[in-house]
Structure 1
Amino acid sequence: MRNGLSILAFFITLTLTAQNVETDFDAPDSLYREDQFYFSVSYNILQRGPSGLRQNKFSTGLTTGFLRDMPLNKKRTFSIAAGLGYSLSIYNQNMGIIDVNGEPTYQILNSENITYSKNKLSLHCIDLPVEFRWRNSTPESHKFWRVYTGLKFSYVVYNQYKLVSSEGTLKQSNLRDLNDFHYGIYLATGWNTWNIYAYYGLNPLFKSSAKIDGQSIDMNTANFGLMFYIL
């Protein structure tokens, strides 16, 4: 009984204290953080491809994730951010990946050797972005100029190659000649909602074991599009 009265007295005291505290919901928050969630859509461009490589249709890039904003100065105009995300990269092009006796072989597809309607490579990745940020934001407004630049490390969790041709449909997944890890630099800059986004991969998509006519396929990727940030 005594314990029950003590607990009741505690909650009554807590309630009375809370009623005497006035909260100003319109007051600016001097400890605000910016741009916690992100989403981007881009066009993927293959760089340094083998002779005869051509892209066709639209090669889509999609990314989404969360970034922890960590301001560096009192005005909170400079910060660093690190996070976790997911990306899907699709490459529509004319390089065929054909399984011959359990071994992948690579060749440039053209009208002389095959007729096809779809030839694409898809990569699903877990991303670890780390970026340095500048913005002229204030506690009163979330509309501001920004320049964010950094590094993105990606791990390929799943990949798939699909060819739809006059000879049928071919699907392969988890290609062993693809690099599991990718990394590159990126830039996002703009005003308010609309931000230009660019990414440049610093290592090849394929391992040195992937060759066409004895030459390694050491192509990398560059992405250009739009980035959107959400608090």
Structure 2
Amino acid sequence: MKESLREEKPADIRELEEAKRKRDSTNTTVTVMDSLYREDQFYIGLTYNLLQKRPDGVSQNSFSTGLHIGFLRDMPLNERRNLAIAVGLGYSMNDFRQNIKITRTDGISNYQVIDEDEINFDKNKFALHFVDLPIELRWRTSTMQSHRFWRIYTGFKLSYLFLNKSKYMDGNEAVRLFNNSDFNKLQYGAYIAFGYNTWNFHAYYGLNSLMKSEAKIEGKSMDMNTLNIGLMFYIL
């Protein structure tokens, strides 16, 4: 009995040991979480699309929009985990409303600039659907505890065109075409996204032409590329 009492630890020592065990447990948990810490795995973007290097007489009308969604694998490069690279897979749809009328005769696509002062059409657009492969370099001020931070992401995107559609409509005529082979299947360009927390400015500039050299208006190739500007939203 006396020996048992001598071996029993005072209450204050037991409390100190219990507090130390809790601290050790907390430190272990933080270390494990930090080793798995990644940022901005999913994205969704909305853009306004501008055609660059348009042929004479070609203009855009209404509002040309883009939708961009996908997944990026975040791979931190340093111990602080605020510098990373990311590689991903995504889908994008880019809509262009303009005054190029596209028709097809005997399997050959024809292009005509519509004089909007003479012809009042209801709708004229082409829409491009892509599978995207982005790769980017990331800098941010994030921490494991906070998801409100500044970011600058910049990179290169390779896109494969798997579907294109064009539509022209006026009071007397309706023309719908699918999978026009004059559009380049492979698109590539550079982009940047920067901002704070939810709101991030996004810009993409296409480095090659949307259309092949065979696509011509009045004998001249349409060497148009695209500039997309808008907002990008990131989700863990």
TM-score bin (small chain): 0.7 to 0.9
> Which residue is 2:232 aligned to?
227
Task: Identify if the C-alpha distance between structure 1 residues 195 and 99 changes in structure 2 by more than 3 Å, giving closer, same or farther.
Answer: same
Give the number of aligned pairs. 211
Is 1:195 the equivalent of 2:183?
A: no
Q: Give 2:34's match in structure 1, choosing from 30, 49, 53.
A: 30
Identity %: 52
Q: How far apart are the structure 1 equivalents of 2:80 and 2:154?
A: 19
Matches within 5 A, 1:95-174: 95-111=100-116, 114-174=119-179
Give the letter for the 1:192 counterpart. N
Q: How far apart are the structure 1 equivalents of 2:118 and 2:109?
A: 17
> Which residue is 2:185 aligned to?
180
> Which residue is 1:11 aligned to?
none
How far 1:114 moved relative to its partner?
Answer: 3.6
Normalising by the residue count of structure 2, what TM-score does the alignment of the two structures yield?
0.85
Q: Give 1:43's match in structure 2, choosing from 34, 48, 58.
A: 48
Q: How far apart are the structure 1 equivalents of 2:83 and 2:96?
A: 36
Q: How far apart are the structure 1 equivalents of 2:47 and 2:67?
A: 6
Give the letter for the 2:34 counterpart. S
Q: How far apart are the structure 2 equivalents of 1:81 and 1:102?
A: 42
Q: Give 2:70's match in structure 1, choosing from 54, 65, 71.
A: 65
- Give the RMSD, CA atoms, in angstroms: 1.9
Secondary structure of the 1:116 match is coil
Give the letter for the 2:60 counterpart. Q
How far 1:136 moved relative to its partner?
Answer: 1.1
What are the Cα deviations for residues 157-214 of structure 1, in whole angstroms up to 9, with x where unaligned?
1000000112221100000100001000000000011100000000000000001111
Q: How far apart are the structure 1 equivalents of 2:76 and 2:59?
A: 44
Matches within 5 A, 1:81-92: 81-92=86-97
Unpaired runs of 5+ residues, structure 2, are 1-23
Could you say which structure has the higher helix fraction?
2
Secondary structure of the 2:61 match is coil
> Which residue is 2:215 aligned to?
210
Secondary structure of the 1:70 match is strand
Q: How far apart are the structure 2 equivalents of 1:101 and 1:167?
A: 22
Give the letter for the 1:55 counterpart. Q
How far 1:142 moved relative to its partner?
Answer: 1.1
Secondary structure of the 1:76 match is coil
Q: How far apart are the structure 1 equivalents of 2:117 and 2:48?
A: 29
How far 1:23 moved relative to its partner?
Answer: 7.0
Contact 1:114–1:166 under 8 Å retained in 2: no
Normalising by the residue count of structure 1, what TM-score does the alignment of the two structures yield?
0.87
Secondary structure of the 2:122 match is strand
Q: Give 1:54's match in structure 2, choosing from 54, 59, 62.
A: 59
Give the letter for the 2:178 counterpart. S
Give the letter for the 2:96 counterpart. Y
Q: How far apart are the structure 2 equivalents of 1:207 and 1:35?
A: 36
